[in-house]
């Protein structure tokens, strides 16, 4: 008896490993496809590349003098983590737009008739946009250092900071994916994600300290997950307490991946 259930257990584990291997293979295949799109259509990367340059210039040089006046930090040091998070959230917004496009074109029918893992279609998009945004973190940091930004934090947190940004973007890409499978129309998806991202990124500590905002706005900015991840990255880069921001950020990342990711996959499966 015991032996039998043991072998059944092993079989179950084996089939899980087998499934998981295919999930990874299918997802990387789909991610490859989406990365090829960027390669063939490099102009889609324009906003990812030009965006941080524009924002860093505008906020550092044009507004920075006024915003940074009389504060105990160098404004560019304050600004960079915010621009990193903001620009990359805009980049991963492409996830949902791409998914909506595939659904619109009837492309998904082909995928659904294949013996591949269904979640790979979404997962591939999510991974591709996350990879792009991860690369853009380093690009943005290079520009920022050219503009005079310097790290003052400890080595390990500084090195880990790009990973935090990427993890948050990965999680947020699932939100975008959910929007994509729900609206199923590229233009609507783009408008809908825009209206989610603009308030999230601007009504946060991205550009100015939350204390300078009116009280009612502070209330929102303080619970805004973007504020927490930006503050975490800022303190990783410049030194400062990490723990409280880290917990909240981890919580939001988990919620978005597990909760919203599952919801998005479920909605995708139910499409007919």
Q: How far is the CB of 81 from other proteins (least distance, A)?
A: 17
Contact 169, 133 (CB under 8 A): yes
* Shorter beta-carbon distance to other proteins: residue 30 or 233: 30
CB atoms within 10 A of CB 199: 12
Q: How far is the CB of 251 from other proteins (least distance, A)?
A: 25
Q: How far is the CB of 246 from other proteins (least distance, A)?
A: 25
Question: Which structure tokens are listed for 80?
Answer: 């960079």
Contact 38, 45 (CB under 8 A): yes
* Shorter beta-carbon distance to other proteins: residue 212 or 262: 212
Q: Which residues, 6 or more positions from 65, have their beta carbon under 8 angstroms from its beta carbon? A: none
Question: Which structure tokens are listed for 66?
Answer: 């006024």
Give Rg (Cα) of the chain.
Answer: 21
Q: How far is the CB of 172 from other proteins (least distance, A)?
A: 20
* Shorter beta-carbon distance to other proteins: residue 36 or 163: 36
* Shorter beta-carbon distance to other proteins: residue 157 or 204: 204
Please say whether the dihedral angle defined by the alpha carbons of residues 50, 56, 59 and 65, taken in this order, is positive or negative.
Answer: negative
Contact 125, 177 (CB under 8 A): yes
* Shorter beta-carbon distance to other proteins: residue 199 or 241: 199
- Contacts to other proteins by CB under 8 A: 22, 25-26, 29, 32-33, 36-37, 40-41, 54, 58, 61-63, 65-67, 69-70, 105-107, 109-116, 198, 202-203, 207-209, 212-214, 217, 272
Q: How far is the CB of 97 from other proteins (least distance, A)?
A: 15
CA angle 102, 197, 123 (to 5 degrees): 35
Which among 171, 224, 232 has a CA at the least distance from the CA of 198?
224
Q: How far is the CB of 32 from other proteins (least distance, A)?
A: 8
Q: How far is the CB of 116 from other proteins (least distance, A)?
A: 4
Return phi, psi of residue 54, to 5°: -65, -45
CA distance 217 to 221: 6
Q: Which residues, 6 or more positions from 251, have their beta carbon under 8 angstroms from its beta carbon? A: none
């Amino acid at each position: 008896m015991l032996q039998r259930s043991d072998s059944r257990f092993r079989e179950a584990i084996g089939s899980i490993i087998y499934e998981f291997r295919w999930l990874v293979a299918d997802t990387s295949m789909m991610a490859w496809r989406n990365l090829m799109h960027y390669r063939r259509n490099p102009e889609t990367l324009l906003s990812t590349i030009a965006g941080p340059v524009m924002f860093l210039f505008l906020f550092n040089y044009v507004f920075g003098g006024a915003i940074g006046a009389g504060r105990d930090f160098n404004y560019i040091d304050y600004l960079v983590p915010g621009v990193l998070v903001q620009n990359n959230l805009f980049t991963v917004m492409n996830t949902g737009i791409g998914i909506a496009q595939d659904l619109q074109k009837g492309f998904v029918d082909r995928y659904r008739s294949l013996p591949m893992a269904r979640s790979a279609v979404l997962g591939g998009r999510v991974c591709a946009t996350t990879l792009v945004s991860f690369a853009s973190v380093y690009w943005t940091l290079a520009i920022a250092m050219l503009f005079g930004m310097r790290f003052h934090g400890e080595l390990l947190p500084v090195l880990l900071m790009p990973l935090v940004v990427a993890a948050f973007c990965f999680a947020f890409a699932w939100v975008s994916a959910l929007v994509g499978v729900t609206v199923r129309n590229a233009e609507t998806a783009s408008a809908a994600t825009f209206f989610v991202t603009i308030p999230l990124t601007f009504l946060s500590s991205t550009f100015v300290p939350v204390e300078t905002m009116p009280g009612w706005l502070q209330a929102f900015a303080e619970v805004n997950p973007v504020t927490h991840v930006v503050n975490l990255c800022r303190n990783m880069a410049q030194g400062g307490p990490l723990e409280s921001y880290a917990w909240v950020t981890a919580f939001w990342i988990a919620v978005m991946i597990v909760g919203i990711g599952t919801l998005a996959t479920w909605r995708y499966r139910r499409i007919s």
